[in-house]
Chains A and B, each alone.
Chain A
Amino acid sequence: MATAPDQTPAVKARLDAEFSELYKAHLRDVYSYSYYRVGNHHDAEDLTEQTFLQAYRHFERAQRESDGRPLRPWLIRIAHNLAANYYRDRSRKPQTPIDDAGVLSAPLTTETLVEDRDDLKRILECVQLLPDDRREALIMRFALGMDNREIARALGRTDGATKVLLHRAIKQLEVLVKTAEGPTDI
């Protein structure tokens, strides 16, 4: 953690304890976001680890500048920036997560199992076709349950622009899903 030279051990201990709370509260959020961004568990683990290590280094400043607001958007923004570097550095494309995400663990009846799996798989494939900002906004809203304000802070946009972004993302996704279903399903 980047600390002021005159920081007392008591302050340091308090910051460490608060960071520990932040870590416990948001490990799943950061991991879920990373997983849906990169599409595989191996890279999602790396991304999550890097996110928390970087967050630890800058925690004191972030806390000071947050004015008491929740730090989840700040954490997700770190993951977002690291994921952008990940693609830029390795020239990778996101993979479609389907094999062992929560999708297949949802309780389904035998009758609808296959069809539901296909539907969800199709949705995930279409999400990957969206522009980056729209895809990320959907991940934040639906995988992490973030509200417009939190998403706006994580993406560095205004609340209004975020609302529009989400609306357009859902509309575009609907079109993509319908197209993917093909003419026989219409």
Chain B
Amino acid sequence: MNKEEKSLTFGRRLRFGVTVAVLLLFVILQILPFWLSLVQSLQPRDFVVMNTIEFWPQSFSIGNYVIAWRDADLELGYLWSLIYSSFFTAVTAVICLITAYVLEKKEFKGRNFVFMFFMSALMVPGEILLITNYLLITELGLLKSPFAVVMPGLVSVFGIFLMKQFMHSVPDSVIESSRLDGANEFVIIFRIVFPLAMPAVATYCIMTFTAQWNEYLWPQLVLSDNESFYNVQLRLLLYRPIIDGNISHPYAYALRMAATMLTLIPVLVVYFIFQKHFTEGISISGLK
């Protein structure tokens, strides 16, 4: 190996080392606030100390989690979050699947117009709709009811777009041949198109489920003070434990961080199981 080659490989190694170091730095920086919160949430009351930043808990205890789970009524919050997210995801996925199928695979007058009609929603800012949809829910007498939480967004333009893009690669011949076998539209959609479009549907479902789990603005607005239907995010926002008559007692923050972790963890679990679907969403929708 001559000198030039040696320095080249050294240069490459150095570059590789710096690249990995910078990336690792940002991975750690992103975790750091959550890690410090996690450490705080695990400290038992006697160990919560002032004026230092703890990078490792002095004692592991899930006691705070038990207290936070009970005091913040997270059980009820989890229940409603699961109901809202599952119901919303299932219904909107079926609607988007049918709509995308009709717009991609059926030929009829006005197809392009209908597609542009749906796409026009991307221009309308949600703030305008926030006000008028709130008025509409009020007029329908659905204010403070759980239906109000899931109603407005059921037709998702993003979902239609995502599935339509994906169905482009589903061959028409498959659909035609099953039609000749006498299959009706619903059999075609759910027996033929659905399995073939599964990757796009799964991606959409996972993204929608987590987005709905994280939603706070619209539920807060329509549920107002009716706490019995609050989802887990609203429960967390509501949670302000008071220790020794003090809302900013260090231990009160330990409890709040425990409730925070309990809200965050389900989404992270879903993310690390289905991680590929989140990154695929961007490539399927052609957002590049």
Chain A bound to chain B: no
